[in-house]
Structure 1
Amino acid sequence: MAEDTPDVIETGFSGASFIEVGLPARRIAVRTTPGRSEQGAPGILWCGGYLSDMRGTKAEALAEWGIAQGRQVVRFDYSGHGESAGAFIDGTISHWAEDALAVFDRCTSGPQIIVGSSMGGWISLLLARALAARGDKRLAGLVLIAPAPDFTEELMWKAMTPQVRAELLANGVWYRESEHGRSPITLKLIEDGRRHQVLGEPFAVGCAVRILQGIADDVVPWRHAMKLVTCLAEDDVVATLIKDGDHRLSRPEDIARILAAVEQLG
């Protein structure tokens, strides 16, 4: 999923560094909290959600935890998100998974716990799969927050009306009104997502997995997360259902649960 490209190419005035990923190159913004990243004290890699960025509540809380604990925390924005370059409408799961692998390879060192939120949960699983395929043993654990694997098919395409599907097939894009404003869903995103589906058959990531899911989540239904649990039959998986938790899981008590899960894994 990643091309051979240079290491960090520059540091911006905002405190973010930038790497170039893929051909043609996409300019990806990265923020790093310096600290330990070693056996017994893994570093943390944050993978954010669809239409989110690395300055959100959960990502900032992890960075603050890293400062307090003296632990390395790396976070980044996918292409077309946040401080990274590119247009969101051009994004695909392939591109965003490639971004994540490039950041893992070039901006982290030592063992890593990957924390993935929503779409970031899917990206985390694809990253784990890519690492396993090449025999990389640096993955120390996964913490998945309201994970949304296969969401382009299961939670987008299958939920669309026949009229919306027809518009998408005819025009290649459909614009959805949401809390983020008017955002495009492209046929390219849907079709590319089908190449990366992980649900349906058992698979192993080779590390402990902790899942936090709100039952009151109206974006990723809790039953969707439970499908993932059944697929990870060979791994050490603990799923925590939060009765009044929404999709964001950004309340102080939710942040405490996330940090506790990270600390449990290392």
Structure 2
Amino acid sequence: MAPTSFVVGPSGRRLAYVKSDGDGPCIVFLPGYKSDMEGTKAVHLEAWAQARGRAFLRFDYSGHGASAGRFEDGAIGDWAADAQAVIEAATGGPVVLVGSSMGGWIGCLLTQRLTRVAGFVGIAAAPDFTEDSFWAGFSDEERGKVMEDGALSLPSDYGEPYIVTRRLIEDGRENLVMRAALPMPFPVRLLQGTKDEAVAGDVPLRLLDHIDGDDVRLTLVKDADHRFSTPACLSLVEQAITEVGG
């Protein structure tokens, strides 16, 4: 297994990453909200890529996993900048972006900022979720708590509560991708489970329609949940990466 390396990100915090050498385009895994590079999908895809001699990069955003910082201090813009910094430091040449949940939103942002994206795979992608899921679903009381107290604690099915900060909401509005053109002139594959409890069923359909590209496909998997980590689901992710990345 490749060792963990570090790079200083744009916020001045140390960002942890693991890069496996191999042929390109380099596969870059973008984790989800409060997820890290030790998650099931990241580790599985790394082993899959290594077995095929493919370059692979996994990393932690600031405030996540082995990277420095507090989770509550971060926001979408920070984490997108972190991802870009790690990619630019650890890779050269074309990359295939594989974004899981929030990583799908980060991936959408990076496709507009990086000039060497060869393909994009979104796994239960959650673009604009701070506005369309969190904020849209809050009561007036909860919205008041976010704006006046600065933070709101939400229960999570994945362990510790989600802390939604005022900055997360306001920064999210500066990084929305579903309100403006989203050109992707390369192969795109979107994967979504029909029993996803975190991403509403209309989100992947809207994203499919919104992306401007000639090779954009959505696969719906009956009964798959948000984790999308069963052997069958992981096999579909592998297939999608192969399709977009050669």
- Shorter-chain TM-score: what band? over 0.9
User: Are 1:193 and 2:176 counterparts?
Assistant: no
User: Are 1:257 and 2:236 counterparts?
Assistant: yes
Structure 2 residue matching 1:196: 3-state secondary structure? coil
Structure 2 residue matching 1:82: 3-state secondary structure? coil
Residue 201 (structure 1) shift: 4.0
Query: Structure 2 residue aligned with 1:183, among 162, 168, 193?
Result: 162
Match of 2:131 in 1: 153
Unmatched 5+ residue regions in structure 1?
Answer: 1-13
Letter in 1 for 2:79: W
CA distance, structure 1, for counterparts of residue 155 and residue 212 of structure 2 = 37
Structure 1 residue matching 2:23: 3-state secondary structure? coil
Residue 222 (structure 1) shift: 2.3
CA distance, structure 2, for counterparts of residue 245 and residue 145 of structure 1 = 11
Match of 2:39 in 1: 56
User: Are 1:214 and 2:201 counterparts?
Assistant: no
Structure 1 segments (4+ residues) deviating >2 Å: 200-203
Residue 109 (structure 1) shift: 1.9
Could you tell me whether the CA contact under 8 Å between 1:77 and 1:83 is conserved in 2? yes
CA distance, structure 2, for counterparts of residue 126 and residue 201 of structure 1 = 11
Residue 234 (structure 1) shift: 3.1
Could you tell me whether the CA contact under 8 Å between 2:184 and 2:212 is conserved in 1? no
Could you tell me whether the CA contact under 8 Å between 2:112 and 2:182 is conserved in 1? no
CA distance, structure 1, for counterparts of residue 215 and residue 180 of structure 2 = 17
CA distance, structure 1, for counterparts of residue 211 and residue 144 of structure 2 = 35
Match of 1:118 in 2: 101
Distance 1:105 1:180, change over 3 A: same
Letter in 2 for 1:110: G
Could you tell me whether the CA contact under 8 Å between 2:186 and 2:213 is conserved in 1? no
Structure 2 residue matching 1:130: 3-state secondary structure? coil
Match of 1:21 in 2: 9
Structure 1 residue matching 2:228: 3-state secondary structure? coil
CA distance, structure 1, for counterparts of residue 45 and residue 16 of structure 2 = 17
User: Are 1:105 and 2:88 counterparts?
Assistant: yes
Listed one character per residue, the Cα deviations across residues 71-118 of structure 1 (whole Å, up to 9, x for unaligned) are 110010000001111000000111100011111111112211110000
Could you tell me whether the CA contact under 8 Å between 1:215 and 1:221 is conserved in 2? no
User: Are 1:170 and 2:148 counterparts?
Assistant: yes
TM-score, normalisation: structure 2? 0.96
CA distance, structure 2, for counterparts of residue 251 and residue 97 of structure 1 = 27
Structure 1 residue matching 2:212: 3-state secondary structure? coil
Listed one character per residue, the Cα deviations across residues 20-60 of structure 1 (whole Å, up to 9, x for unaligned) are 0114x0110001122112xxxx1101100000010111101
TM-score, normalisation: structure 1? 0.89
Structure 2 residue matching 1:143: 3-state secondary structure? strand
CA distance, structure 1, for counterparts of residue 63 and residue 190 of structure 2 = 27
Structure 1 residue matching 2:131: 3-state secondary structure? helix
CA distance, structure 2, for counterparts of residue 105 and residue 257 of structure 1 = 28
Letter in 1 for 2:149: N
Unmatched 5+ residue regions in structure 2?
Answer: none
Letter in 2 for 1:258: V
Structure 1 residue matching 2:54: 3-state secondary structure? coil
Letter in 2 for 1:184: I
Listed one character per residue, the Cα deviations across residues 177-227 of structure 1 (whole Å, up to 9, x for unaligned) are 213212311000000000111113442022111000011101001211111
CA distance, structure 1, for counterparts of residue 213 and residue 59 of structure 2 = 30
Residue 161 (structure 1) shift: 1.3
User: Are 1:33 and 2:20 counterparts?
Assistant: yes
Could you tell me whether the CA contact under 8 Å between 2:135 and 2:143 is conserved in 1? yes
Match of 1:10 in 2: none
Q: Over aligned residues, Cα RMSD in angstroms?
A: 1.2
Structure 2 residue matching 1:181: 3-state secondary structure? coil
Structure 2 residue matching 1:115: 3-state secondary structure? strand
